[in-house]
Structure 1
Amino acid sequence: MKKLFGLVLSLVLALGVVSPVSAKGQEEQTTFTVVFKNDQIDRASIENLGGTITYEVPEIGLAQVEAPSDFAKKAVNLEGVTAANPTLTFEAPEVASIPFESSSVSTEDAALWETYQWDIKRLTNNGATFEEHSGSHDVVVGIIDTGIDLNHPDVQKNLLPGSKNFVPAGGIYGADKSEKADPTDVQDRNGHGTHVAGSIAANGAMLGVAPNAGFKAYRVFGAEGGAQSAWIMAAIVSAANDGVDVINMSLGGICSKGQVYYHNPVTGEKERLGSDIAEYVAYQKAAKYAEKKGALIVTSAGNDAINAGNPRTVTDLANEKYGELGYEFQGASVYAPGDLPNVVTVSSTGPEDELALYSTYGNGYVDVAAPGGNYELYLEYLRAGKLNEYLSNQLQINEFAFSTVPSVEYTYNKDGSIRNYRYVEPSYGWKVGTSMAAPKVAAIAALLFDEHSGASPKDVKVMLQQTAEDIGVTGHDKEFGHGLTTVYSAFE
């Protein structure tokens, strides 16, 4: 079977650009996120302020509301409201892919293992751990991402029934005709989610960390790579209700725990939105909900290359990124869901166990590390004007993370938004990012759940921390947390 390989060359690989979203066709309406106290959604109070609830996650008291532009400053004063602000949209980055053709690849004998999978080898003692610790369908990983390539032979055998789609008709910008709000449409139009899934549970031409583990896909991103925060919260709750054991979230954004202001472009006013942003509160509630249901959330640390253990640094970055969108942050800011105490936050390492150039880090923030790839050599060749030499010699093999992806083609509207997509064939590609590190830890967490029947999410998090291989400076550190999580160290 002919395979297409893609090299991802983007230097900014973080999910989590934030922007306010205006309700389509209603110039004076804005979409807001509201979190209610005691998980009680108060429709009457919302309607009294001129709002209409368009989406809700009742299990955590989250509602998405279309309302006049001054809604938030009024809603935050309601007795039953914890937080309200213009809705945050989490955006996947644009990635550049350079494909090339290879010879036919057998999907039966791990034909790509030896040449391309340095990262999985590092965690499995060159595959030796597969003999006793390869996972089973008794333990399920829920992947909240861009979906899954339903036609890819390397991931088909471990994809379990029950995957779900949370992307509404039209997608994030309302222009994607392939998005018809079909709750069963989990086909990956982007590639990110399938790459993540391959790292966890591929079993074919390539192998994941847990090649016999079961997984389900919860699609919140379309081809454009954008998702409203409410869709992500709904996916967390749904995965928890479905009884998954591990939830992988290779995504995130910056939220405030200090004062948040919004410079309203319609009224010209500077509106105080309170001491918490609604999305952070929602993440807190969703993570607690998942934990009570028995699911451990594993998330990526982010790709901003800053010390997230310093809230001032995160606030400065938030103002730099989102100031032009009308937001002003004062006081402490954090990454969500990475900052939450009951999730496992993963930084990224390269082929020499070094902290990747892009990886966010920080004491009290990073729990463990895993290989997500690096691009030191890529940058060296790029700066020297020798990128073609880098690509022709396939030097990415030794530093980027390799996994499964779908090959797709897009058609575009005049404004550049995606109108539709065409699936071409199952494929493979290289990516770098903490998005590629987190799923490897999620896979090891699944193996631990499989080994230790009845273990709680907290138990497994502690196991991951206590068994991590110490790298970097001796002991716990800000770059790798407790160290590199590997399969063999987890079962010593």
Structure 2
Amino acid sequence: MKRRLPSFLLLVVMVFTCSMADFSFAAENVEKERFIIIYNEEINTELIEEVGGTVYEEFHSIDAAAALLPLSAVPLLMKLPEIKAIEKDDKVSISAQKVDWGIPKIEASRAWKDAYKGKGIKIAVLDTGISRSHSDLTAAGGVSFVSYTNDYNDDHGHGSHVAGIIGAKDNEIGTVGVAPEASLYGVKVLNSSGSGNESAIIKGIEWAIEKKMDIINLSLATPNSSTAVKLVIDKAYAQGIFIVAAAGNDLTDDGQPLPVQYPAKYPSVIAVGAINEQNKRASFSAIGPELSFAAPGEFIYSTGIGNSYFTQSGTSMAAPFAAGVLALYKQANPELGTSQLRALLQKNAVDLGAAGRDKEFGFGLIHVAETIDNSVMTASDFTDIFSSAWYINELNELTKAGYIKGYSDRTFRPSLPITRAEVVTFLGRILHLNDAQRKTAFSDVRESFYASGMIQSSYEQNISAGYPDGSFHPNAPITRGEIAALVKRAFQIETSSKGNPFSDLNKSYFAYNDIISLVEQKLLSGYPDQTFHPYSAATRAEFIAILGRASSISN
């Protein structure tokens, strides 16, 4: 049921209007600004209209609307229980500054020789549009969300340049893109000056969801986070769409790179920084723990408006290289999901900086492997796993999905006790938590610890907790009871009211309800003698079995 403003708030509006009529909400000379209003449940535009606001966009995949509001109306709306948040509909802008060398750098021809050129992969380019008259570009379709035109034709050049890097045709003229047979869609969300509003970005992503795009390229950036944009990006990712975004270009006054910008900074987005031809970080490229990969981004030659070509630099150019590589992998491995394909990209990246993921290059240069199909690990790749193992099905599924990687000697070590850090890491991979190493809330988990990012993310999501003394004990074995508590919270398993089947499980035990709930869901079980052993250390095999089952019922 729609709710109107409470009478006391209407009275405030009426008194304000009567006593200062020239400054009433309804007066045309009151300055209004663009806001995105996020509701707790259904959209109610009447609340906005009653404070003199004008709705100019309603979003259908998230409970939010965009409106022009008097500044004085914002605190009134924020007092209503129906309103979750109100944020500025901020401007976003092109993430580019100023070639051909990029194609051999990522070794795209390795995929081409096996006839993988992106055919059948639908890529939405959210940008200034795509030139409809260019001999080297073919748009399979598109849409415009800017105010002055319904045509997605590019009137700036940036969108066409990005589109050409992804999929310029292999026709012996001009240039060629990474995935020349991919289906490109021009989603015009930026105007002729290269800027636009977040509301247009939201509409563009909603369109991409509706049209069942495989990949969204966002060569744009803003320093400001948006709850609404994150919500719609997370929804797209949950539906199997990859979102690739430019990390950002700006420098500080003393010439230092700025942190990764939004939307690249969101965990569900593949954030791409730029390198030069010498595999060095481009001086303008943003840095930070959120960075996923690096790609060519200096002096990149690609298509422009009309039938033109030009050279440009920026992380805006790096992102479409990553989107193109992703299209090749997706065509070669159609059965793989988002997590599996991301794991493949990470596995085949060329490490350029400090070992592993780092703040300048992420996992490294995004790169096409010698063979890009059927290159996913399975349980049979572990030297210490037998095909008859009781947990083989769960281990196989989780390994194929890229969640389980084992040890460097290709062992899994199923009988070893699993540690608290390992459990949080495996859970975090499935839940797509931010794994970027960073400072944590715990005194015994340093930023450099391999699982610091997952530990902090799981803590922030109220999945895991530490001890009263502020420690986490990351390398300590975790008990069967503790695992039950973590898994129930992580996958939001309903609490069971069933009776207790175990002779050694007291109702006063902190994880009593968690254990009973997981048992009812057939996610875990006890021993033949009707005991559970809640205080016993869990093995890696036991946890993988529980994790695989929980992951299966949550999908």
TM-score computed with the length of structure 1 as normaliser: 0.65
Partner of 1:147: 129
Letter in 1 for 2:216: I
Partner of 1:329: none
Letter in 2 for 1:191: G
- Partners of 1:292 and 1:198 in 2: CA distance: 28
Flag the structure with more relative contact order, 1 or 2, with Cα contacts below 8 A and sequence separation at least 6: 1
- Partners of 1:490 and 1:439 in 2: CA distance: 21
Matched, 1:119 2:102: yes
- Following superposition, the deviation at residue 137 of structure 1 comes to 3.6
In structure 2, relative to structure 1, the CA distance for the partners of 1:27 and 1:465 (3 Å cut) is farther
Matched, 1:87 2:89: yes
- Partners of 1:336 and 1:429 in 2: CA distance: 27
Range with greater deviation from structure 2 (134-143 or 338-347): 134-143
Matched, 1:167 2:146: yes
Matched, 1:32 2:34: yes
| Structure 2 unmatched ranges of 5 or more | 1-24, 376-555
- Asked if 1 retains the 8 angstrom alpha-carbon contact of 2:244 and 2:322, the reply is yes
Letter in 1 for 2:78: V
- Partners of 1:76 and 1:461 in 2: CA distance: 39
Length, aligned pairs only: 342
Partner of 1:336: 262
The C-alpha deviation readout for 1:178-211, integer Å capped at 9, x for no partner, is: x3xx2xx111010001000110111132111111
Partner of 2:65: 63
Matched, 1:247 2:216: yes
Structure 2 matches for 1:380-459, cutoff 5 A? Answer: 400-406=299-305, 425-459=306-340
In structure 2, relative to structure 1, the CA distance for the partners of 1:93 and 1:356 (3 Å cut) is closer
The C-alpha deviation readout for 1:244-276, integer Å capped at 9, x for no partner, is: 1000000121125xxxxxxxxxxxxxxxxxxxx
Tell me which structure has the larger Cα radius of gyration. 2
| Structure 1 unmatched ranges of 5 or more | 1-22, 97-115, 170-178, 257-279, 315-333, 374-399, 407-424
Matched, 1:192 2:158: yes
Q: Sequence identity of aligned pairs in percent?
A: 30
Where 2:345 maps in the other structure, the secondary structure is helix
Structure 1 runs, 4 residues or longer, greater than 6 Å off: 93-96
Partner of 1:283: 229
- Partners of 2:96 and 2:244 in 1: CA distance: 23
- Asked if 2 retains the 8 angstrom alpha-carbon contact of 1:138 and 1:214, the reply is yes
- Following superposition, the deviation at residue 121 of structure 1 comes to 1.5
Partner of 1:226: 195
- Partners of 2:314 and 2:371 in 1: CA distance: 23
RMSD between aligned residues: 2.5
Range with greater deviation from structure 2 (66-75 or 345-354): 66-75
Where 1:254 maps in the other structure, the secondary structure is coil
- Following superposition, the deviation at residue 474 of structure 1 comes to 2.6
- Asked if 1 retains the 8 angstrom alpha-carbon contact of 2:93 and 2:221, the reply is no
In structure 2, relative to structure 1, the CA distance for the partners of 1:190 and 1:26 (3 Å cut) is farther
Partner of 2:421: none
Where 1:488 maps in the other structure, the secondary structure is coil
Where 2:87 maps in the other structure, the secondary structure is strand
- Partners of 2:338 and 2:182 in 1: CA distance: 17
- Partners of 1:454 and 1:282 in 2: CA distance: 31
- Asked if 2 retains the 8 angstrom alpha-carbon contact of 1:464 and 1:490, the reply is no
In structure 2, relative to structure 1, the CA distance for the partners of 1:434 and 1:137 (3 Å cut) is same
- Asked if 2 retains the 8 angstrom alpha-carbon contact of 1:303 and 1:360, the reply is yes
- Following superposition, the deviation at residue 475 of structure 1 comes to 2.3
Partner of 1:5: none
In structure 2, relative to structure 1, the CA distance for the partners of 1:92 and 1:335 (3 Å cut) is closer
The C-alpha deviation readout for 1:285-317, integer Å capped at 9, x for no partner, is: 1112212332110001000247xxx9xx76xxx
- Following superposition, the deviation at residue 358 of structure 1 comes to 0.1
TM-score computed with the length of structure 2 as normaliser: 0.58
Structure 2 matches for 1:288-367, cutoff 5 A? Answer: 288-305=234-251, 335-363=261-289, 365-367=290-292
Letter in 2 for 1:216: Y
The C-alpha deviation readout for 1:150-187, integer Å capped at 9, x for no partner, is: 1111112xx21x31111112xxxxxxxxx3xx2xx111
Match of 2:295 among 349, 370, 373: 370
